[in-house]
Amino acid sequence: MIELNDTLNKITEMLQTLSGILQTEQKLLIENSLTNQLNEIINKKSQLLIELKLLDEKRIKLSKQFNIQPPYEESPTIAEHWLSITNTTVLLSKINRDNGVIIQNRMNITQQSINYLKKMNSPAVYTNHGYQQTDVISSKRAKV
């Protein structure tokens, strides 16, 4: 049981680290500053999630070994620890979802800006018969 408790302690520490990473990510997204750091933050987050998955697999294996299942009511200390972990993961999931919404909104605004600029650079051209020309016209001038 000590090994299970140690695993839960490691998971708790990693979740605290993940919380800091997610909050930094959100700050960068909201302030729209230092966006070049986002790639580094995303890489750290991905690596941490992989490590958390491995620890959770270890937790599951130990739970089976000791024939104890979440919410670990058989051991009050472990049950309290597990409750803390589940509450933290719910909070972190919400922060991560909020960050995803911020990113999606930014992508939508960027796409709208690109579409607007494309319209600006592709003005409608009409032929001498009054019909809109669909072919792209080169902006180069011919010398006469």
Q: What is the pLDDT of residues 42-81, one digit of tens each?
A: 999 999 999 999 999 999 999 999 999 999 999 999 999 9
Kindly report the CATH number assigned to the domain that includes residue 106. 1.20.58
Q: Is residue 99 part of a domain?
A: yes
23: nearest Cα among 102, 107, 82, 110: 102
pLDDT in tens, 71-106: 999 999 999 999 999 999 999 999 999 999 998 998
Q: Which helix (H) or strand (E) holds 126?
A: strand 125-126
In percent, the amount of the chain with pLDDT more than 70 equals 83
- pLDDT for 37: 87
3-state secondary structure of 45: helix
What are the residues facing 132 on neighbouring strands?
A: 126
pLDDT in tens, 108-143: 998 998 888 877 766 666 667 767 666 555 555 544
Give the separation between CA 57 and CA 137, rounded to whole angstroms: 61
Give the separation between CA 66 and CA 43, rounded to whole angstroms: 35
Q: Which helix (H) or strand (E) holds 132?
A: strand 132-133
- Domain count of the chain? 1
Strands 132-133 and 125-126: antiparallel
> Structural domain of residue 24, as residue ranges?
2-122
